[in-house]
A and B are shown apart, each in its own frame.
Chain A
Amino acid sequence: MLVAENITKKFSGVVALENVCLEIEAGKVTALIGENGAGKSTLMKILSGVYPDYEGSILFRGQVVNFANPREAQRAGIAIIHQELNLVPYLSITENIFLGREIITAWGTLNQKEMRRRTQLLLHKLNLDVNPDTLVGELKVGQQQVVEIAKALLDESEVIIMDEPTSAISDSEVEVLFGIIQGLKRENKAIVYVSHKLDELFRIADRFVVLRDGRCIESGSMQEVCQERLIQKMVGREINISRKKTKNNQGKALLSVENICLKHPVRKDQSLLKNISFTLHQGEILGLFGLMGAGRTELLETIFGLHPKLATGQLIISQQPVTLKSPAEAIKAGLALVPEDRKKDGLVLGLDVQTNICLTTLPDLEDAGILNNRKEFSLSEKYIRDLKIKTSSEKQTAGNLSGGNQQKIVLAKWLATKPRILLLDEPTRGIDINAKSEIYKLIQELADAGLGIIVVSSELPEILSVSDRILVMAEGRLTAEFAMEEATEDGILKAAIPNTI
């Protein structure tokens, strides 16, 4: 049905996919497996026309195709259902399904009757028993997903790609989805199923393809493989990780987290964090690993006082119980958070380097209520020097710097607050190798200086090389703790995959 041959894709010199071959058969579910950053989503984006330039060729129904955009791929019969659903909540099911391809009457008006009729047929086929006029925003997430599938079927799609389709839906909705997938198989559709949840794959998939570091590692029949082998194939890399020596002299407890729970902001009956407790010591680098949606970011945000209304639990900092209701209080208590998305939450991109670095410590840079430019300059100059921030001047606009240098500015502005506890959320995401190793070195130096550091990462090699101790999260729970000596990639990943422990 769909064959990809020797696909190679580079992003500004970095290889994301290397000679990947993939064959998708009609009437079968092909599972695509790999850890974060293995290249799954890049491959999906190439197949669905998001990335039109790549090396290699794609054959669809025996013909070479090269889609210029997702719309073209969709017309040819390849539909993708993204993890984040692309529906307009204020429009009805019918309106969403026909969005951009409305049926028009001879008068040039919308043929609502016909669109409604065809929607009804589709919904009936997918066993979704709701009125086609219902607003999509009123549907459950699982039902919205069915609407997305209906959208794909309207195009007579032959290949349907599902990216983590069960990440947001309940168990009973999963059953409904699997029923639909079985139906699609009988209609001889080809389905590509991307998921972390191995137990699901064993139920629904016929074939599997394992990607690792942008390469196709193994493929075969799902029946002839076991879970252990798949996990091993996903992680089994030969790269030498420069493991650091574990410290023996453990410091005093710096931060204790007791029974932290966090409610979902919209669906109040659900929890994003469930009874999380752990301790961070002085001079310790605590790695926190989890797959997408495990609640890593939410945990750091909760500790930093960003969710005072939704969170419960107790924080103890240096033997003192504290309640942090805002970032300002957290900063005062000696915490600092380097957020995951530096462009969205870390930096004011339109302001210059100096202003960004000084933003957290302005009260210290004043004389009688007036900002002292000399103090601001010397502070920013110190960090530009210490962290080797490459910028033409301290007056350079932050948005003009490279990702690695921007990340260093975010680090600088938090180091300026002289924190005792540093929370780093994906500190090396999207930055080049050089800047990465500089940041690892910096983290190490800060820990040696006595700071307690929590590093959240979705990259196993990073977690393994930087941490003294590793916690693993899955679905809002802490599922495992490893001392450095006993940590293995297999073990960590096993604990991070939901429902398999």
Chain B
Amino acid sequence: MSPKVFVKEEKAQVQPPTLKAPAFSGSYSRYLVKFQSLIALFILCLIISLLSDKFLTVANGWNVMRQISVNICISVGMTLVVLTAGIDLSVGSVLALCGAITAGLLKFGIELPSQDLFIGFTLLGVVLAGLLTGTLLGTFNGWTITRFKVPPFVATLAVLTIARGLTMLYTKGFPISGLGADFAYIGTGWLLGIPVPVWISGIIVGLAVFLTNKTRLGRYIYAIGGNESAARLSGINISKVKTTVYAIAGGLAAIGGIIVTSRLDSAQPNAGISYELDAIAAVVIGGTSLSGGRGSILGTVQGAIIIGVLNNGLVLLNVSPFWQQVVKGMVILLAVIIDKANSKSE
């Protein structure tokens, strides 16, 4: 296959029909596009390691990985939502509420003095309760979006406020601390030489990659985001798929909440504020289109790592936190501009 054919690949109608995909497209530019975020990440690491000798150490590596594990959990859910051309602004608040409920149930259980009743919870019990809370809130998002046609931006904005309010009500505005060593293991422990949060986020990424590539649901998510009308005519139950996706996003936010609470040994009522923005940033830097239908989980993981490395590097280089925000914003813009330029040239 000549390079000329590759450049004009979209004019496939003039090509003779061949059924086998070309094994190698014979041009480096395509690989440059495909791995652009990896390349950017590599260059970023290179620059930081030249400027700081603390960066390229094993300890710092695990440190970065542990820091981004929460964002990865949320971003994976966000990717699924964005692939359906939706958005979920509520994840930060959902994270806080789930963390608070997990911590509260672990520490105090449920007391009903009028019934003379006390329910205590095991570690597994509180984790499941936290997950359930997040999934329910996500399902609620999906329900208002599909049943009442509330735009996702508005529906999840409402739940952002509601969940934050519920967190304040439940915690009465104070942190719930002192949760015990067993619970702390989730956020701070090590397993086989790898931090537990990294295990958790890694497994979530694996499952999500599997979901998007190998299951019907994953296929439907891409189809709905790509062309909802065609998906509906193909007999796909749009409401069911969307609700499921928001429920997953809620559940993953809950996992993030449990990790955060465990790591701090404390459920903070104002945990997770603006986490949704970090997640959206990871999704966008990872090349997922906000108009849906195009993108991938692994892209988002790269996006999250880029943000994490950038944060870490800027701290190591003693850049002021104010400048850190400016730099982060510029990186997001740059990533999207490059992505747009690429999709136009295709």
Stretch of B19-27, B139-147, B245-253, B313-321 with 4 or more beta carbons under 8 angstroms from chain A: B19-27
B230 touches A345 (CB 8 A): yes
Quick one: which of A360, A370, A388, A405 contacts B234, CB cutoff 8 A?
A: A360
A-B contact count (CB 8 A): 109
A404 CB to closest chain B CB, in angstroms?
Answer: 8
Separation of A396 and B15 alpha carbons in the complex (Å): 12
Q: Within A282-315, which residues are at the interface with B (CB < 8 Å)?
A: 304, 306
Quick one: which of B12, B19, B227 contacts A348, CB cutoff 8 A?
A: B227
A347 proximity list for chain B (CB < 8 A):
227, 230
Question: Which of A328, A348, A381 lies at the interface centre, i.e. has the most chain B CB atoms within 10 A of its CB?
Answer: A348
B183 within 8 A of A: no
Q: Within B1-49, which residues are at the interface with A (CB < 8 Å)?
A: 9-13, 15-22
The proximity string for B residues 223-249 relative to A, scoring 1 for CB distances below 8 Å and 0 otherwise, is 100110111111111000000000000
Closest to A380 in B: B19
B294 within 8 A of A: yes
Separation of A405 and B231 alpha carbons in the complex (Å): 19
B22 proximity list for chain A (CB < 8 A):
392-393
Separation of A366 and B216 alpha carbons in the complex (Å): 8
B219 touches A346 (CB 8 A): no
Stretch of A134-142, A193-201, A248-256, A349-357 with 4 or more beta carbons under 8 angstroms from chain B: A349-357
Quick one: which of A330, A393, A402 contacts B21, CB cutoff 8 A?
A: A393
A381 touches B19 (CB 8 A): yes
A206 proximity list for chain B (CB < 8 A):
none
A112 CB to closest chain B CB, in angstroms?
Answer: 33
B215 within 8 A of A: yes
A345 proximity list for chain B (CB < 8 A):
227, 229-230, 233
The proximity string for A residues 406-422 relative to B, scoring 1 for CB distances below 8 Å and 0 otherwise, is 00000001000000000
Separation of A358 and B215 alpha carbons in the complex (Å): 12
Quick one: which of B12, B214, B229 contacts A396, CB cutoff 8 A?
A: B12
Quick one: which of B21, B213, B230, B294 contacts A394, CB cutoff 8 A?
A: B21
A349 touches B226 (CB 8 A): yes
A348 touches B13 (CB 8 A): no
A359 touches B219 (CB 8 A): yes
A303 CB to closest chain B CB, in angstroms?
Answer: 13
B16 proximity list for chain A (CB < 8 A):
390
A95 CB to closest chain B CB, in angstroms?
Answer: 26
B226 touches A390 (CB 8 A): no
Separation of A401 and B235 alpha carbons in the complex (Å): 24
Q: Indicate whether A327 sits within 8 Å of B235 (C-beta atoms), given known contacts A400-B12, A401-B13.
A: yes
Separation of A306 and B237 alpha carbons in the complex (Å): 12
Quick one: which of A350, A355, A401 contacts B219, CB cutoff 8 A?
A: A355
Separation of A402 and B19 alpha carbons in the complex (Å): 17
A391 touches B233 (CB 8 A): no
Separation of A397 and B346 alpha carbons in the complex (Å): 11
B293 within 8 A of A: yes
Q: Indicate whether A369 sits within 8 Å of B227 (C-beta atoms), given known contacts A360-B235, A393-B20.
A: no
15 more contacts with CB within 8 A, not counting A393-B20, A393-B21, are A327-B232, A344-B229, A345-B230, A348-B227, A349-B227, A351-B222, A355-B223, A359-B219, A359-B223, A360-B234, A362-B219, A362-B220, A369-B216, A370-B214, A402-B13
Residues on A facing B (Cβ under 8 Å): 304, 306, 326-328, 330-331, 337, 339, 344-351, 355, 358-360, 362-363, 366, 369-371, 381, 384-385, 388-397, 400-402, 405, 413
Residues on B facing A (Cβ under 8 Å): 9-13, 15-22, 213-216, 219-220, 222-223, 226-227, 229-237, 293-294
What would 27 A/B residue contacts be, using CB atoms closer than 8 Å?
A: A327-B232, A327-B233, A345-B227, A348-B222, A348-B223, A348-B227, A350-B227, A350-B293, A351-B222, A351-B223, A359-B234, A360-B235, A362-B219, A362-B220, A366-B215, A371-B213, A371-B214, A389-B17, A390-B12, A390-B16, A392-B9, A392-B17, A393-B18, A393-B19, A393-B22, A400-B11, A402-B13
